[in-house]
Chains A and B, each alone.
Chain A
Amino acid sequence: MSVTDVTPRSDARSTPRRPRPGPALQHGKAGFVLAFLAVPVAVYGLFVLSPYVQAIYISLTDWSGLTASQTFIGFDNYVRLFDDDQFWVALKNNVILMLVVPVVTLALGLFFASMINVGRRGRSGIEGVRGSKVYRIVYFFPLVLSMAVIGVLFKYVFAPTEAGGIFNGLLGLVGLDGLAQPWLGDPRFAFWCVVVVMIWAFVGFYVVLFSAAMQSIPKDIYEAALLDGSSRFTTFRHVTLPLVWDTVQVGWVYMAIQAMDGFALVHIMLGISGGPSRAGDVLGVALYRSAFNSYRFGYASAIGVVLLVLTLIISVLFMRAARRERVEL
């Protein structure tokens, strides 16, 4: 009730520096807060929280998605899920996406961003490499394309030679015809094609993100490093990286969550079955397939709930792993 509750207990005994607010403000506080929060909380509850609760409930039923009623079947959907080989294929691929894509994307993003911003040691001190203005724009291109467009585009890039595949054509140009493959038709490569495309699609965003962070680093730090004879790598390792670490941390979590999804690319490039031998399946596609191909909404919701739990765990783990002392400027 009293304002002292707001301040930490250790301060409670010391004399308040400010006079206590009058009873009028104190009295109206609850109503004031409520008035501002009621609508957004209600909207959030209705459109965000309630669907989760419903999805969890639906996952415990046999709902087909076409009827007004459903039977409660307990954890049968989960039992079926863990018995389903295809679920484990999809889960394995999600884990690959989650580990490989963020690491490669962030590494490339950091590399490109540092090259664009602090890669060159010119006459006027530290600056971007030659043509960095062009690169800055080029790296951004994939971001203006929607995932659907990117998926269709790369379906043609990785198409077999006889269907006009661009990648195979390039291999032919440099005399590597022997390496040409029906990339998306071979279970050994299909999923990795998606991984490559995903990295290509996301790296531009992180270049922009890290560039913004790097531009806020004072140039005199670099000049000092330069005077001390620090090599480019050492400068990156001990100056750039610690000073953009906060941004990397945000990007890391964000990227891991994006990589958990992968639905659009897999669906478009490999199809609803998950590609050749169904080896490129991911949980998002498995969920969609169960819901909108088989009309087993109960089962699909079970996959959704598993995906939710996994995503939560991943977020917590990644945030823990990336925690590091912050460098204050």
Chain B
Amino acid sequence: MTKISSEWSRRNFLRGALATGTLVLPGSSVLIGCATSGGGQEQTEGEATEDNPLGVPTDATLEVYIFNGGFGDAYATDVHQPMYKEKYPNAKIDHNAEVDIAGALQSRFVAGNPPDFVNDSGDGQIPLGQLVSDKQLYDLTDMYDAPSWDDPSVKVRDTLVPGAVESGVFGDAPYVMHMALTVYGLWYNKTLFDENGWTAPTTWDEMTALCGEIKKAGIAPWTYQGVHARYMNWPLLTMAAKLGGPEILTAIDNLEPGAWGHEAVRESANALASLKKNGYILQGTEGMDHIQAQGAWSEGKAAFLPCGSWLESEQADVTPENFEIAFMPEPLLSQDSAMPAETLRAQAGEPYIVPAQAKNPRGGLEYMRVMLSQEGARGFTEKVSSLTVVKGAADGIELPPGLTSAQQGLQAAGDDVLTWMYPTWYKDMENPGINSHTGELMAGRISVDEWVAGCEAEAKKVREDDSITKYTR
């Protein structure tokens, strides 16, 4: 039984150990212990009354996970949680601030005991589309149809800006609540423009002419977030939709064949690619990351930068004294465009979810209703310097200059607001997919035709992959 073969010399043993050691080094060890089967947990629910329309169990604990990133978690602990506690004094809130949401919660989703409310955001975001197709999210319809916090005669969904609810719809129901309203466009230093007598261009011809002037002044007209070239994809699609109408974006979201080859998309791609050909892009931009490129922009090395309205707070530490961040919508490619010059992309972002297997899902819904109240939204805007999807909640709040100009842009746009869904629905179609093709295009390494072919191939990959749940709008 204890026969030890003479083959088992020390040398062979060491060799075996060495070979086994190689097993440990590659990344496969990250999969340790994931394949556990979950049991689920019991859900509690209270009785729905006029004062408690969602049927919140008034004495149950509410476990909250807030992503502790750019927005911090003070808006939750100082604004929303006190409101919830005030209404349900017997409830207990278990607050958690987390930097890596997936790291903290992935195994809890698998095990069937997720928390009641999650701010699924940041680098460790668990893809929303995947959570929906795995049936891990609670349907938010009841919350949107409930009477609003401030006025019981108005439903929650009617207190929000157009598109806010839709931004969280996957298939037939809303599963994600987006709180922040992000305005996308081009950003520049108003002080610099005023000094030189430059004005924000409204057409592409004006843009090209101004770029020439800016270049003569020794400044690079444009920069973008370099290796994260999808930032450039945003003005590209916005300009295309302004020229050809918002149906272009619907076709792209619905993965229709040929959507990326639309004439307006090509024209827009062509216009942006010409920036590189004319030498209007800060040298070396394609090799920078967003920190380096935005840093160069803040230093005044480049005039225009595409970004969302988080830019101002992101750059707060590196913005010089007399730098007044200002917003402008993307210029029109042609005089006979389908949409007016004021049109811009505004997208509801910063996702909040209630897990389907939560212990206290009704409490999670109620917490959302608190956030979407006038007071809750106002507090959010004050704490994190971001607009919200709640109508009129930011009125009268003193905002920093960049956000003020973005808000003015939004008001000027009225109903001409664009939005697209494919990055939310199919996360890796945009990144790394489209991201790398746009990077190539902007670096001048491929033509517009090759770019279209590349993007079409990415759409086709998703379209023909049966394992991906498809959504349409």
- In the complex, B35 has a CB within 8 A of chain A: yes
The 8 Å CB contact of B26, one of A186, A260, A272, is: A260
B293 — nearest CB in chain A belongs to which residue?
A: A163
Query: How many Å from the CB of B219 to the closest CB on chain A?
Result: 11
Query: How many Å from the CB of B41 to the closest CB on chain A?
Result: 12
Q: Which residues of A contact B301 (CB under 8 A)?
A: 162
Considering the complex, which residues of chain B in the window 5-32 have a beta carbon less than 8 Å from any beta carbon of chain A? 6, 15, 18-32
The 8 Å CB contact of B227, one of A33, A63, A184, A315, is: A184
A77 — nearest CB in chain B belongs to which residue?
A: B467
- In the complex, A45 has a CB within 8 A of chain B: no
- With contacts A66-B126, A67-B136, A315-B19 taken as known, whether A308 is within 8 angstroms of B26 at the C-beta atoms is yes
Interface pair B287/A64, CB less than 8 Å apart = no
- In the complex, A182 has a CB within 8 A of chain B: yes
- In the complex, B443 has a CB within 8 A of chain A: yes
- In the complex, B130 has a CB within 8 A of chain A: yes
- In the complex, A295 has a CB within 8 A of chain B: yes
- In the complex, A230 has a CB within 8 A of chain B: no
Q: Which residues of B contact A186 (CB under 8 A)?
A: 286-287, 443
Q: Which residues of A contact B32 (CB under 8 A)?
A: 47, 51, 54
Interface pair A278/B35, CB less than 8 Å apart = no
Q: Which of B295, B428, B445 has the most CB of A within 10 A?
A: B428
Considering the complex, which residues of chain B in the window 287-315 have a beta carbon less than 8 Å from any beta carbon of chain A? 287-289, 292-293, 295-296, 301
Interface pair A307/B27, CB less than 8 Å apart = yes
| Cα-based distance from A300 to B2 in the complex (angstroms) | 40
Query: How many Å from the CB of B9 to the closest CB on chain A?
Result: 11
- In the complex, B247 has a CB within 8 A of chain A: no
The 8 Å CB contact of A68, one of B38, B227, B432, is: B38
Which of B79-87, B107-115, B172-180, B405-413 binds A? B107-115
- In the complex, A235 has a CB within 8 A of chain B: no
- In the complex, B216 has a CB within 8 A of chain A: no
- With contacts A47-B32, A162-B282, A273-B435 taken as known, whether A66 is within 8 angstroms of B130 at the C-beta atoms is yes
Q: Which residues of B contact A142 (CB under 8 A)?
A: none
Query: How many Å from the CB of A236 to the closest CB on chain B?
Result: 27
Interface pair A273/B288, CB less than 8 Å apart = no
- In the complex, A58 has a CB within 8 A of chain B: yes
Query: How many Å from the CB of A2 to the closest CB on chain B?
Result: 9
- With contacts A55-B28, A159-B287, A304-B26 taken as known, whether A185 is within 8 angstroms of B227 at the C-beta atoms is yes
Q: Which residues of B contact A297 (CB under 8 A)?
A: 31, 34
Q: Which of B30, B136, B440 has the most CB of A within 10 A?
A: B30
- In the complex, B1 has a CB within 8 A of chain A: yes
Interface pair A305/B110, CB less than 8 Å apart = no
| Cα-based distance from A124 to B372 in the complex (angstroms) | 83
| Cα-based distance from A284 to B28 in the complex (angstroms) | 9
- In the complex, A274 has a CB within 8 A of chain B: yes
Which of A113-121, A194-202, A214-222, A285-293 binds B? A285-293
Interface pair A304/B27, CB less than 8 Å apart = yes
A270 — nearest CB in chain B belongs to which residue?
A: B227
Considering the complex, which residues of chain B in the window 101-134 have a beta carbon less than 8 Å from any beta carbon of chain A? 102, 106, 109-112, 126-127, 130-131, 133-134
- In the complex, A39 has a CB within 8 A of chain B: no
- In the complex, A57 has a CB within 8 A of chain B: yes
- With contacts A186-B287, A253-B18, A277-B440 taken as known, whether A30 is within 8 angstroms of B2 at the C-beta atoms is yes
Query: How many Å from the CB of B74 to the closest CB on chain A?
Result: 28
Interface pair B25/A257, CB less than 8 Å apart = yes
Q: Which of B6, B282, B284, B439 has the most CB of A within 10 A?
A: B284
Q: Which of A64, A158, A272, A274 has the most CB of B within 10 A?
A: A64
The 8 Å CB contact of B288, one of A57, A160, A181, A277, is: A160
Q: Which residues of A contact B287 (CB under 8 A)?
A: 158-160, 163, 181-186, 276
0/1 string, A39-71, CB within 8 A of B gives 1:
000000001100110110110001111111110
Q: Which residues of B contact A33 (CB under 8 A)?
A: 2
- In the complex, A109 has a CB within 8 A of chain B: no
Interface pair A304/B440, CB less than 8 Å apart = no
- In the complex, B436 has a CB within 8 A of chain A: yes
**Interface of chain A, helix or strand or loop or mixed?**
helix
Q: Which residues of A contact B283 (CB under 8 A)?
A: 160-162, 182
Query: How many Å from the CB of B331 to the closest CB on chain A?
Result: 25
- With contacts A51-B31, A258-B25 taken as known, whether A65 is within 8 angstroms of B106 at the C-beta atoms is yes
Interface pair B440/A55, CB less than 8 Å apart = no
Interface pair B18/A161, CB less than 8 Å apart = no
Query: How many Å from the CB of B375 to the closest CB on chain A?
Result: 34
- In the complex, A5 has a CB within 8 A of chain B: yes
- In the complex, A316 has a CB within 8 A of chain B: yes
- In the complex, A127 has a CB within 8 A of chain B: no
Query: How many Å from the CB of A157 to the closest CB on chain B?
Result: 12
Interface pair B19/A316, CB less than 8 Å apart = yes
- With contacts A6-B4, A66-B126 taken as known, whether A287 is within 8 angstroms of B27 at the C-beta atoms is yes
- In the complex, A169 has a CB within 8 A of chain B: no
Interface pair B226/A185, CB less than 8 Å apart = yes
Interface pair A182/B134, CB less than 8 Å apart = no
- In the complex, B44 has a CB within 8 A of chain A: no
Query: How many Å from the CB of B14 to the closest CB on chain A?
Result: 10
Q: Which residues of B contact A319 (CB under 8 A)?
A: 15, 18
B20 — nearest CB in chain A belongs to which residue?
A: A48
- In the complex, A7 has a CB within 8 A of chain B: yes
B31 — nearest CB in chain A belongs to which residue?
A: A55
Q: Which of A67, A161, A307, A308 has the most CB of B within 10 A?
A: A67
Interface pair A163/B292, CB less than 8 Å apart = yes
- In the complex, A311 has a CB within 8 A of chain B: yes
The 8 Å CB contact of A66, one of B15, B20, B106, B432, is: B106
| Cα-based distance from A230 to B429 in the complex (angstroms) | 64
| Cα-based distance from A173 to B445 in the complex (angstroms) | 29
- With contacts A159-B292, A161-B284, A315-B19 taken as known, whether A185 is within 8 angstroms of B27 at the C-beta atoms is no
Interface pair B431/A273, CB less than 8 Å apart = yes
- In the complex, B33 has a CB within 8 A of chain A: yes
- In the complex, A234 has a CB within 8 A of chain B: no
Interface pair A182/B127, CB less than 8 Å apart = no
The 9 nearest A-B residue pairs measured at CB: A160-B284, A182-B287, A185-B287, A273-B432, A304-B28, A68-B38, A163-B292, A185-B286, A51-B32
7 contacts between A and B (CB under 8 A): A1-B3, A67-B110, A182-B288, A185-B284, A185-B288, A257-B22, A261-B27
A-to-B contact residues, CB < 8 Å: 1, 5-8, 29-30, 33, 47-48, 51-52, 54-55, 57-58, 62-70, 155, 158-165, 181-187, 253, 257-258, 260-261, 263, 270-278, 283-284, 287-289, 291-297, 300-301, 304-305, 307-308, 311-312, 315-316, 319
